[in-house]
Structure 1
Amino acid sequence: MIMGGICTRACAFCNVATGMPNALDRDEPASVGRAVAKMGLSHVVITSVDRDDLPDGGAQHFVETIRAIRASAPGTTIEILTPDFLRKPGALETVVAARPDVFNHNLETVPSNYLTVRPGARYFHSIRLLQRVKELDPTIFTKSGIMVGLGEERNEVLQLMDDLRTADVDFLTIGQYLQPTRKHHAVIRYVTPEEFKSFETVGYTKGFLVVASSPLTRSSHHAGEDFEKLKAARLARPSVAA
């Protein structure tokens, strides 16, 4: 996670500290690049807190981190898990131009939950962000994820899948929400393994290249293995941009 440990938003599911973040560490991208090379990572996921205090939402810092990894570890594939860069003109275009291998932006939950679960974000802005990535560079894999157990209805999850496929998103993750502390949003229910399997099956029928759906699925869990699945699934589907 880059850009510090203090987030400018206060989502009801997240246990990251909220407040005014510290100034960016300008040496951080180079440090990340060196660390990736030293650990010999074949695939790396770079994420961040929300940085609404910055004019570009931290977009350039993502770019510099991608470039530093490519310089220090050219064989490493890069997945980024970004904020929504809300109302930051040109931020998304800047990041896409750095050509990460996977662009991940999580919806987190269905739109009816946004006011209580993700109040600082807008559902259709996030959908449009993912769609715009594909418009700018169809070769970049796009990915999004949600948590279930927050009071959503099944039909809402299926509609969310349709919205993501309309945006040409390649990869969907679905996992069980777990309450970090008593002050966070309560778990409304625990979704059964059978329901997770059903979501996976439906997701594939709707056209996702990869669907990871289980109680313990997390956005970046097994990301390297799933990247290999993405590449194989694209090759097996000639109509998808290569």
Structure 2
Amino acid sequence: MSDSMTIPKPSWLKVQLPHGREWRHVEEVLASKGLHTVCDEARCPNKGECWGAGTATFMIMGDTCTRGCRFCAVKTAHQGQPLDPAEPLHLAEAVKALGLKYAVITSVDRDDLPDRGAAHFAACIRAIRELSPGTQVEVLIPDYVGTELSTVLEAKPDVLAHNVETVRRLQSVRDRRASFDKSLQTLREAYAAGIPTKSSLLLGLGETEDEVLDALRELRSAGVSIVVMGQYLRPTPQEIPVTEYITPTRFAEYAEKARALGFASVISAPFARTSYHAREAWGAVDNPARKTGSGPRRGHEAETEGNTQGGLIS
């Protein structure tokens, strides 16, 4: 059963279709390097806007996830594809060809690998640094802790993102190997290492306002400085249905409450995803006097990430 057969989709949830020369250019560069993006694999609603602006979020380590979150459209299996040792170079070449000043890298979960792909993440960061030393790099990682996380942090990303996805009570929508506490541990360890951290919440899964505020407080306590809140949109009939469509006004109210809790940067809007307007969010942390609004305007500077409506990583 689709969303339209349960709760009618409101008028504010309209997606811009891909168009223009920049969209074609991004498509051609990605195809030439054999790269995947979350924009495609997770059916991100911002693809038209961001590809039209010449931006994309790269998804490394294949297109098959070893976890099975109930809100996510990315295909799953017990084992992913063999890692491509040339992928870090191809990724760096794509970043250079697109002229990106801010690159976002995410991945599928790879529980089938000894280090779950941490060294591959680090290699991708270093490759971008080598070919495009002026490019800032944000990574949206799995729930790495300890040595795995240290491996990524040693490559010096500018921002480290990891998503708690939803409030504590609703964590069962994630794969059983994920948990709110483990995600907080990832974020705490990264913050302790001096890296700006980011996390995201999907709304419309049945959470209460008090639960959202509790989750935001816990994220702040873990040192998270950038928070993103967006509407869950059911990718296909196989995923869990939407419980509620949150109005733009409520997203704005959540943004005000998040800022009052001390987040340096808040992005809260129906189509917001973890890496949506990522460069602007990073700039707000770099210079705390600049605060993002609730629901950033759709501009040609946007960076985006999807997962039909969820952060890809759990």
Q: Report the 3-state secondary structure (helix = DSSP H, G, I; strand = E; otherwise coil) of the residue aligned with 2:287.
A: helix
1:203 lines up with 2:258 in the alignment? yes
**Cα deviation per residue 1:115-142 (whole Å; 9 max; x = unaligned)?**
2344330110101110111112x2x210
Q: Report the 3-state secondary structure (helix = DSSP H, G, I; strand = E; otherwise coil) of the residue aligned with 1:17.
A: coil
Q: Report the 3-state secondary structure (helix = DSSP H, G, I; strand = E; otherwise coil) of the residue aligned with 1:152.
A: coil
Query: Residues 22-171 of structure 1: matches in 2 within 5 Å?
Result: 22-85=81-144, 89-136=146-193, 138=194, 140-171=195-226
Write the distance in 1 (CA, Å) between the matches of 2:175 and 2:217. 20
Q: Is the 8 A contact 1:45 1:78 kept in 2?
A: yes
Instruction: Give the equivalent residue in structure 1 for 2:227.
Output: 172
| Aligned-pair CA distance for 1:111 | 1.4
Instruction: Give the equivalent residue in structure 1 for 2:249.
Output: 194
Moved over 6 A (4+): none
| Aligned-pair CA distance for 1:169 | 0.5
Change (3 A) 1:234 1:72: farther
Write the distance in 2 (CA, Å) between the matches of 1:121 and 1:95. 19
Instruction: Give the equivalent residue in structure 1 for 2:282.
Output: 227
TM-score normalised by the chain length of structure 2: 0.72
Q: Report the 3-state secondary structure (helix = DSSP H, G, I; strand = E; otherwise coil) of the residue aligned with 1:233.
A: coil
Q: Report the 3-state secondary structure (helix = DSSP H, G, I; strand = E; otherwise coil) of the residue aligned with 1:228.
A: helix
Aligned length: 232
Among 71, 79, 82, the residue aligned to 1:13: 71
Query: What is the identity, as a one-letter code, of the residue corresponding to 1:126?
Result: S
| Aligned-pair CA distance for 1:226 | 2.1
Write the distance in 2 (CA, Å) between the matches of 1:182 and 1:235. 40
Q: Report the 3-state secondary structure (helix = DSSP H, G, I; strand = E; otherwise coil) of the residue aligned with 2:274.
A: coil
Aligned-residue CA RMSD (Å): 1.4
TM-score normalised by the chain length of structure 1: 0.92
1:183 lines up with 2:244 in the alignment? no
Write the distance in 2 (CA, Å) between the matches of 1:55 and 1:109. 28
Write the distance in 1 (CA, Å) between the matches of 2:83 and 2:289. 37
Write the distance in 1 (CA, Å) between the matches of 2:151 and 2:174. 28
Consecutive unaligned residues of structure 1, counting only runs of 5 or more, are 237-242
Instruction: Give the equivalent residue in structure 2 for 1:240.
Output: none
Query: What is the identity, as a one-letter code, of the residue corresponding to 1:192?
Result: T
The sequence identity of aligned pairs, in percent, is 43
Write the distance in 2 (CA, Å) between the matches of 1:54 and 1:178. 30
**Cα deviation per residue 1:179-212 (whole Å; 9 max; x = unaligned)?**
0011101100001112111110011110100010
Query: What is the identity, as a one-letter code, of the residue corresponding to 1:99?
Result: K
| Aligned-pair CA distance for 1:172 | 0.2
Write the distance in 2 (CA, Å) between the matches of 1:42 and 1:229. 16
| Aligned-pair CA distance for 1:229 | 2.2
Write the distance in 1 (CA, Å) between the matches of 2:140 and 2:173. 22
Write the distance in 1 (CA, Å) between the matches of 2:69 and 2:211. 20
Query: What is the identity, as a one-letter code, of the residue corresponding to 2:65?
Result: C
**Cα deviation per residue 1:133-185 (whole Å; 9 max; x = unaligned)?**
1112x2x2100001000011111110001101111100000000000011101
Q: Is the 8 A contact 1:143 1:172 kept in 2?
A: yes
After the TM superposition, which of the residue ranges 67-76 and 212-221 deviates more from structure 2? 212-221
> Which structure is richer in relative contact order (CA contacts within 8 A, separation 6 or more)?
2
| Aligned-pair CA distance for 1:89 | 4.9
Q: Is the 8 A contact 1:80 1:102 kept in 2?
A: yes
| Aligned-pair CA distance for 1:97 | 1.4
